Amino acid sequence: MGGFRAYVIDKQDGAYSVGVKTLTEADLMDGDVTVRVTYSTVNYKDGLALTGKAPVVRKFPMIPGIDLSGEVTASQSADFRPGDRVVLTGCGAGEVHYGAYAGMARLKSEWLVPLPATLSPAQAMAIGTAGFTAMQCIIALERHGAKPEDGPAVVTGAAGGVGSVAVAVLARLGWQVIASTGRPAEADYLKGLGAAEVIDRSELSGPVKPLARERWAAGVDTVGSTTLANVLSMTKHSGAVAACGLAGGMDLPTSVAPFILRNVALLGVDSVSCPRSLRLEIWRRLARDLDLAKLDAMTSMIGFDDLPATGAAILEGKVKGRIVVEIDA
């Protein structure tokens, strides 16, 4: 049994450490499917785990990395056979179960999704948890009854991973997308993804009024805090906002006014424990509604050794769009 490289996070006597170790399959955790990992990605949460800036990792030692694509090498599950190409997003990988930043992973079959036929393993990781969550937000809005004829949709943190995919998919579905960003230099990038209008995020970070001028019928918010509160106060009557992120903070300094005076709905989105039936629907919708040329335009590639620096960069808001990590470990 050959060895493979893995990032290993440990915490001993309160000291958080990240290093690369050589492991064998015998070191992996229990699961009914073993996968040779070919690609992964860096989400905001991966940045938190790699730097130790928030308690994402809940079991030590841990192999970080919440998303992977790869090829099954052994399976005790009737659902997967050696050679099958699979995708994993979330489900506790990299948090409580050894995750993606290693040459091999052993996982539970119920977490795995067959790689959609139209996507390459690298494209599946260009989507990753961020793109998956963007689509989950859009499905939540649709289930609420939101539709492009109701008015524009705002996307906050638009130049980030969730935001970029949300902009591209909403635009393809016919929404007039208003992209909010703190990086005005990325206006052309966001318009290239399909944004009709780009606004500076400072428009959404000022003092929150209970109700403000109605600007959009729907929203995908990745920022939280004052930004989400302002988005809610500017949402049209009977509109809805899907909240998935906290890049600007975990608090929510709002009032009940948008809910009781404008019938606005706040829809919570958690991708980690997303039920399997919805997980499969999200991947089907991504394969159908995400323009792959736009996905490629928002994606950059890094190597296994670039992970720590990229994890720090995403927390500083310096990563544009999505990152794919080639795992040659």
DSSP class of residue 102 equals B
Q: Which of residues 51-90 bind ligand NDP (CB under 6 A)?
A: none
User: Which residue from 107, 199, 234, 244 is in contact with ligand NDP, where contact means CB under 6 A?
Assistant: 244
Residue 160 contacts ligand NDP per CB under 6 A: yes
Residues 6+ apart with CB under 8 A from 72: 33, 34, 35, 80, 81, 82, 83, 84, 85, 86
**CB of 60: closest distance to ligand NDP in angstroms?**
21
Residue 279 contacts ligand NDP per CB under 6 A: no
- The SS3 of residue 6 is strand
Q: Which stretch binds ligand NDP (CB under 6 A): 43-51, 207-215, 256-264, 298-306?
A: 43-51
**CB of 222: closest distance to ligand NDP in angstroms?**
4
Q: Which stretch binds ligand NDP (CB under 6 A): 6-14, 56-64, 72-80, 312-320?
A: 312-320
Site string for ligand NDP, 175-214 (x = CB under 6 A): ------xxx-----------------x-------------
Q: Which stretch binds ligand NDP (CB under 6 A): 93-101, 110-118, 161-169, 234-242?
A: 161-169
Residues 6+ apart with CB under 8 A from 89: 66, 67, 113, 128, 129, 132, 271, 279
Is the preceding peptide bond at 184 cis, omega within 30 degrees of 0?
A: no
DSSP assignment of 17-57 equals: EEEEEEE-GGGSPP-SEEEEEEEEE--HHHHHHHHTSS---
In the complex, the residues that contact ligand NDP under the rule CB under 6 A are: 43-45, 129-130, 133, 157-163, 181-183, 201, 222-223, 227, 244-248, 269-272, 314, 317, 319
